[in-house]
């Protein structure tokens, strides 16, 4: 089992280390006026990040549980459990955006 799990794990770690090394050598430029974007732009970015994290989570489940460990039921559980967590996160983000909008309107 270890021979099956180690190659994708080592590959993922090597990709992560390469990304960190590249980021340290060439950091991304910071946008001017950071924090002055409209709430709609930040909301869109938050939704994209949440859904991207959900997709990455499902990819990990497919590789390690479904493909390597041969547990096809794990994918269905991950889809529903991950969708629930994704929905909770989206609801919290929406509540936070609504509270911020109300605070700005009260000023």
Instruction: Report the predicted TM-score, pTM, of the whole model to 2 decimal places.
Output: 0.60
pLDDT (tens digit per residue) in 19-65: 999 988 988 777 776 555 555 557 778 888 888 989 999 988 888 88
The number of folded domains in the chain is: 1
Mean of pLDDT values over 59-80: 84
CA–CA separation, 79 vs 62, rounded Å? 10
φ/ψ of 35, rounded to 5, equals 95, -5
- In-domain check, residue 88: yes
Residue 82 lies in domain: 33-106
- In-domain check, residue 97: yes
Contacts of residue 50, defined as CB under 8 A and 6 or more positions apart, other chains included, come to 86, 89, 90, 93
- In-domain check, residue 13: no
Tell me the angle at which helices 73-106 and 39-61 cross, rounded to the nearest 10 degrees: 170
Predicted confidence at residue 41, as pLDDT, reads 59
CA–CA separation, 74 vs 65, rounded Å? 6
């Amino acid at each position: 089992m270890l021979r099956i799990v180690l190659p994708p794990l080592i590959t993922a770690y090597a990709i992560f280390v390469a990304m960190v090394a590249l980021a340290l050598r060439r950091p991304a430029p910071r946008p001017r006026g950071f924090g002055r974007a409209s709430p709609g732009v930040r909301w869109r970015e938050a939704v994209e990040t949440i859904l991207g994290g959900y997709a990455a989570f499902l990819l990990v489940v497919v590789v390690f549980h479904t493909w390597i460990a041969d547990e096809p039921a794990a994918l269905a559980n991950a889809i529903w459990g991950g969708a629930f967590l994704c929905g909770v996160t989206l609801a919290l983000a929406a509540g936070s955006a609504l509270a911020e909008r109300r605070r700005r309107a009260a000023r």
